[in-house]
């Protein structure tokens, strides 16, 4: 933490806005998100967060006053949610006030008729889901960090969760929002299902990672709890055969609430564990029965072997285990440590017709860099491909960083996008020109117009 006259001056004035107990000159464990050591990010070892102080506002009006003060002092503003982001989006890479949204944790309204919930940005997703339960409703967004991630944080990266194939990404579930823009003013968008009144201003904030303002409240679509859920698991002799089944499910127009397909390579030189597809359908009983029957026939026609509902249920019930372990580390104040020699992953969005070619290239690039492929697969949609790899042979961080960049640029060259789930932050900012081309200058022009002082989450999204 930088102890300077500037920090002392700003903390005193912040205390008058939010109360002395809600301002700290220590970042209190919120200097980092989940961008940890051992990742393929060149320079993370020397990156020093620069929070001026930590402030915990309790209302939208207080957030507005905090931002106005920061603008007056020409200080950066970095919003902080649950700290589960994987790309460094919540790290103060320049001197900044860290705005911790933890006090803004109230569910403001739930409507069974409208099938909506209005919540403050600091509400943890699992808490929101629990508030919906008495009304027979549920949240459609179900990431592995559901017990840590917040409403505002998942909106800021347009996060995707396990149920994304049926209910969409977090951004697709936002009907309306309230945000504080860089001059401290408060704006609201109307929380309706559809309007045709010009460009959709919500999209400045959905996936905007706090670079255009701070989301303080959101009205979300929520969904009736399913009358029935059917879970299935199939094994395929080859990845190609399983992918054929995934394409068949998609082509039929089925919308599985769970679609997780992949192969694992856990030992050097080991053949992959047979490719396994987990499918789940939920909704009204007759519809689920029809979808389950058709999906089963599609998998069997691709030579899939049914390994039983118990296997699928085990996967479903333990889908959040990694997130729970992360939450426990966060509660204990332990920062994520390297996994053996380091590991990283790519989550790219491709035309489904290019997935098998991309997978083939991954299996060439990763060992050429001295790394080992651990797993690869499809999530939610046949065009969403992921690969996880590790350095257990001492190739070093440059090899890891080089592999990530090569694979992400390859996805862009093949007509895809370099990330479908976790946002950009600082981790992928150097690849934004390749992602957007000339469109990046349009984004930068919007940023200058909305945030002429450049105070909102500076250094993120290459803006």
Question: Which pLDDT does position 1 carry in this prediction?
Answer: 41
Write down the pTM of the prediction: 0.93
Q: What sign does the CA torsion over 25, 77, 43, 339 have? A: positive
Which has more confidence, 1 or 209? 209
Confidence of residue 308 (pLDDT cuts 50, 70, 90): very high
Question: Would the CATH topology of 5-103 be identical to that of 228-321?
Answer: no
Instruction: Say what percent of the chain tops pLDDT 90.
Output: 82
Q: Give the SS3 label for residue 411.
A: helix
CA angle 34/39/40 to nearest 5° reads 135
What are the backbone angles phi and psi of residue 454, rounded to the nearest 5°? Answer: 65, 35
| CATH 3.40.50.970 for the 5-103 domain, yes or no | no
Average pLDDT over residues 417-443: 96
Instruction: Say what percent of the chain tops pLDDT 70.
Output: 93
Residue 322 structure tokens: 């990694």
Looking at CATH, the fold of the domain delimited by 228-321 is given as Alpha-Beta Plaits (3.30.70)
Element (H, E) at 297: helix 285-301
Q: In which order are the strands placed within the sheet that holds 76-80?
A: 23-24, 51-55, 96-100, 76-80
Which residues is 223 bridged to in the sheet? 138
Q: Spell out the CATH class of 338-421.
A: alpha beta
- 21 pLDDT higher than 70: yes
DSSP code of 135? G
Closest CA to 294 of 256, 259, 239, 260: 256
Distance CA 138, CA 85 (A): 23
Confidence of residue 271 (pLDDT cuts 50, 70, 90): low
Average pLDDT over residues 379-395: 94
DSSP code of 456? B
Confidence of residue 335 (pLDDT cuts 50, 70, 90): low
- 2 pLDDT higher than 50: no
Q: Spell out the CATH class of 107-224.
A: alpha beta
DSSP-assigned letters across all residues of 226-255: PSEEEEEEEEESSHHHHHHHHHHHHHTT--
What are the backbone angles phi and psi of residue 326, rounded to the nearest 5°? Answer: -65, -45
Domain boundaries, the chain: 5-103, 107-224, 228-321, 338-421
CA angle 75/78/82 to nearest 5° reads 160
């Amino acid at each position: 933490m930088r102890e300077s006259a500037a920090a002392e001056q700003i903390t005193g004035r912040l205390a008058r806005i939010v109360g002395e107990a809600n301002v700290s000159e220590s970042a209190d464990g919120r200097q980092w998100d989940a961008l940890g050591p051992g990742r393929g990010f060149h320079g993370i070892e020397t990156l020093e967060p620069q929070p001026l102080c930590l402030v915990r506002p309790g209302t939208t009006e207080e957030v507005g006053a905090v931002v106005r003060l920061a603008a007056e002092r020409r200080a950066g503003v970095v919003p902080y949610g649950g700290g589960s982001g994987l790309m460094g989006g919540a790290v103060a890479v320049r001197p900044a006030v860290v705005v911790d949204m933890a006090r803004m944790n109230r569910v403001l309204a739930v409507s069974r008729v409208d099938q909506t919930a209005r919540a403050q940005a600091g509400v943890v997703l699992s808490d929101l889901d629990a508030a919906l339960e008495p009304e027979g409703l549920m949240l459609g967004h179900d990431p592995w960090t559901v017990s840590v991630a917040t409403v505002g944080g998942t909106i800021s990266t347009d996060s995707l969760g396990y149920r994304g194939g049926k209910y969409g990404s977090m951004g697709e579930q936002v009907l309306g929002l309230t945000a504080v823009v860089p001059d401290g003013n408060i704006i609201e968008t109307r929380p309706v299902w559809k309007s045709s009144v010009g460009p959709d201003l919500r999209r400045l904030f959905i996936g905007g990672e706090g670079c255009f303002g701070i989301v303080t409240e959101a009205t979300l679509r929520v969904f009736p709890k399913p009358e029935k859920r059917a879970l299935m698991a199939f094994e395929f002799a080859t990845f190609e055969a399983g992918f054929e089944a995934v394409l068949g499910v998609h082509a039929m127009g089925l919308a599985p609430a769970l679609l997780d397909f992949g192969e694992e390579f856990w030992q050097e030189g080991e053949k992959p564990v047979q490719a396994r597809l987990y499918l789940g359908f939920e909704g009204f009983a007759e519809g689920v029965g029809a979808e389950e029957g058709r999906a089963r026939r599609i998998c069997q026609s691709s030579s899939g072997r049914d390994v039983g509902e118990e296997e699928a249920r085990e996967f479903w019930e333990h889908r959040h285990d990694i997130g729970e372990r992360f939450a426990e580390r966060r509660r204990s104040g332990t920062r994520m440590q390297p996994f053996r020699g380091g590991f990283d992953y790519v989550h790219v969005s491709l035309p489904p017709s290019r997935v098998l070619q991309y997978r083939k290239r991954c299996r060439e690039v990763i060992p050429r860099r001295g790394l080992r492929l651990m797993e690869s697969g499809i999530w939610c949609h046949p065009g969403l491909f992921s690969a996880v790899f590790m350095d257990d042979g001492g190739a070093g961080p440059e090899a890891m960083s080089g592999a990530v960049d090569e694979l992400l640029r390859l996805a862009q060259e093949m007509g895809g996008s370099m990330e479908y789930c976790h946002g950009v932050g600082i981790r992928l900012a150097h690849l934004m020109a390749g992602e957007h081309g000339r469109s990046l200058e349009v984004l930068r022009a919007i940023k200058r117009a909305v945030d002429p002082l450049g105070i909102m989450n500076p250094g993120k999204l290459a803006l």
